[in-house]
Amino acid sequence: MKRRDFLKSVSGLAAGAALPAMPQVISSAYADARSETLLIVSEGGPNNLDIHGVGTNVPGYEVSWNCYDRLISHEMKVGPGGVPYYDRDKFKGELAEDFKIDDMSVTFKLRKNAKFHDGTPVTAKDVKWSLDRAVSVGGFPTFQMSAGSLTKPEQFVVIDDYTVRVDFLKKDRLTIPDLAVIVPCIVNSELVKKNASEKDPWGLEFSKQQTAGSGAYKVTKWTAGTEVIMERNDDWVCGPLPKIKRVIWRMVPQAGNRRALLERGDADISYELPNKDFQEMKANGKLNVVSLPFSNGIQYIGMNVTKPPFDNPKVRQAVAYALPYQKIMDAVMFGLANPMFGAPKDKPTEIAWPQPHKYNTDMEKAKALLVEAGYANGFETTISFDLNFAGVNEPLCVLVQESLAQIGIKTTINKVPGANWRTELNKKEMPLFTNVFSGWLDYPEYFFYWCYHGNNSVFNTMSYKSAEMDKLIDGARTAAASGDKATYDADVKGFVDLAFTDIPRIPLYQPFVNVAMQKNISGYQYWFHRRLDYRALAKG
């Protein structure tokens, strides 16, 4: 072969390879499918379609929310920026057409025409079985149920085919809200029981792979780690028929590509993008970007109060005066958060959570406090963060490190891999760290019970123990259950004030949930679980 021929054949091959890269011809069937389909792109996908499963991840909650019904749900109200926002205090029936709350029980009347995806009617025995399952399987679902004092199968009583009563163990304001979270979903008991085994009495293996509910959508195809395809359940009766016929949810790990897909108009909705991207997309106005604060959620700097130097409240206050709050808001969050610092000196404490504290960046004061505490020359410590959220945590910790160095506190940054983070939190040995906590149930005493109470739950990451604090938190819980508003208000104010003077954890900001979508997508609703509700969305 001559060199010239050889070259020719090579260039011929190259040209041949380039041909299919031409823009593809779009067939009409393809265009139709596009207009009735919602394409969602996100970083991670579900690992289990059943929230009762072992270790179901957060994307799995989204599937459960849309494919299963609960007895009750929340009404909507107008939230910040005119976006529909779930109303914490108003409930409506979902599978229940009516419900009556008595002193020590609540009775639900089920809709007579509700059917599971396979056509069997939803009856009281399914409700009983599903709630029994939620309180019995262990792990997260059982834990979540117990947060509303729902712990025993005996609490769920079948009265007739379409009536169920839930008995209260004790008076608890969180019982009713807890029946409207994702966990107490109603499962097709006959179908799942048929596929259960002796080793797996609750049929978790079966419901992990397919949805067995009565919800507005059903999963028709699920390729783990790649995509989830959901079709509308046209026989859904628990609300107005959703407008979107088909939801395709693709996992796109690269944040840059998710943004490119949105900006090119190929994807309809995405979340989990870096704050900078959201801020830029907001500014250029080609897409709708919704940013709403996490309900009952705060990013904070925590300090381990059991060990020196942070066992000294003066040191903690010094740190609180030395944090670069505004820099974090600007350079890390790009303004996409509510500041939780720098409230005016004379502002009275509100009966609400989260609310800003009165610390501000004040290096002189910080230095003075440190001298008072006996650390005039500063000290050395480490600051830890969860690598899973490195996009926010890493720059945040660098800024904190820089700022603390100015008052003589030398910090080393400790990056903890995501898989290890919870283990580390559980050990409660990290001296200084940043983390986020947010509760599904939006009540101050709920937040404080998990984060500040002396029973030392996982989320009391500071190991903070104070008899006074415990008294106030318990007092508020009892007062809420019995409706004693005066005591409740006094106790909430009390524990908020105490949390700010003792300052075992320093709130930084309330993060935003950011969702970017095409201009022709409407109906986005904010829910406590912060995932999408497809039932309300519309396209075009």
Partner 1 sequence: MLTMIGKRLMFAVPSLIGVVIVTFLLTRALPGDPAAYFAGPAATKEAVEQIRKKLGLDKPLIEQFFRYTNDLAHGDFGNSLTTGQPVAAEIRNRLPASAELTLLGLIVSVVIAIPLGVLAATRPGSWVDHLCRITTTAGVSLPVFFTGLVLVYVFYFRLGWSPAPLGRLDVFYSAPPTVTGFYLIDTLIARDLEAFRSALSQLILPATTLAIFSLAPIARMTRASMLAVLASEFVRTARASGLSPATVIVTYAFRNAMLPVITTLSMVFSFLLGANVLVEKVFAWPGIGSYAVEALISSDFAPVQGFVLTMAVMYVLLNLVIDILYGVIDPRVRLEG
Residues within the interface to partner 1 (CB under 8 A): 1-3, 6, 10, 13-14, 17, 20-24, 27, 30, 33-34, 37, 39, 41, 46-48, 53-57, 138-140, 142-144, 208-209, 223-227, 248, 250-254, 256-257, 260-261, 263-264, 266-267, 417-420, 422-423, 426, 457-459
How far, CA to CA in Å, does 31 sit from each of 64, 261, 269, 428?
29, 17, 18, 55
Minimum distance of partner 1 from residue 423's CB (angstroms): 4
Helical residues (DSSP H) of 179-254, grouped into ranges = 189-194, 204-209
Angle at 43 between CA 40 and CA 47, to 5 degrees: 95
Asked, as a colleague might, if the bond just before 309 is cis with ω within 30 of 0, I would say yes
Q: For residues 516 and 289, is the Cβ–Cβ distance under 8 A?
A: yes
Nearer to partner 1, 113 or 456 (CB): 456
Minimum distance of partner 1 from residue 6's CB (angstroms): 7
Minimum distance of partner 1 from residue 373's CB (angstroms): 33
Minimum distance of partner 1 from residue 24's CB (angstroms): 7
Distance CA 13, CA 384 (A): 54
Minimum distance of partner 1 from residue 15's CB (angstroms): 13
Distance CA 316, CA 312 (A): 7
Q: Which of 154, 206, 219, 178 is closest to 88 using CA atoms?
A: 178
Minimum distance of partner 1 from residue 283's CB (angstroms): 18
- Phi/psi region, residue 223 (left: phi>0; alpha: psi -120 to 50; beta: rest), is beta
Minimum distance of partner 1 from residue 9's CB (angstroms): 9
Nearer to partner 1, 16 or 483 (CB): 16
143: Cβ contacts below 8 Å, ≥ 6 apart? none
Token look-up 């009265």 returns: 159
Nearer to partner 1, 17 or 467 (CB): 17
Amino acid in position 498? L
Nearer to partner 1, 83 or 255 (CB): 255
Amino acid in position 360? N
Distance CA 295, CA 156 (A): 30
Nearer to partner 1, 139 or 335 (CB): 139
Nearer to partner 1, 252 or 479 (CB): 252
Amino acid in position 136? S
Minimum distance of partner 1 from residue 93's CB (angstroms): 27
Per DSSP, what are the bridge partners of residue 160?
163
Q: For residues 199 and 219, is the Cβ–Cβ distance under 8 A?
A: no
Nearer to partner 1, 208 or 539 (CB): 208
Nearer to partner 1, 198 or 346 (CB): 198
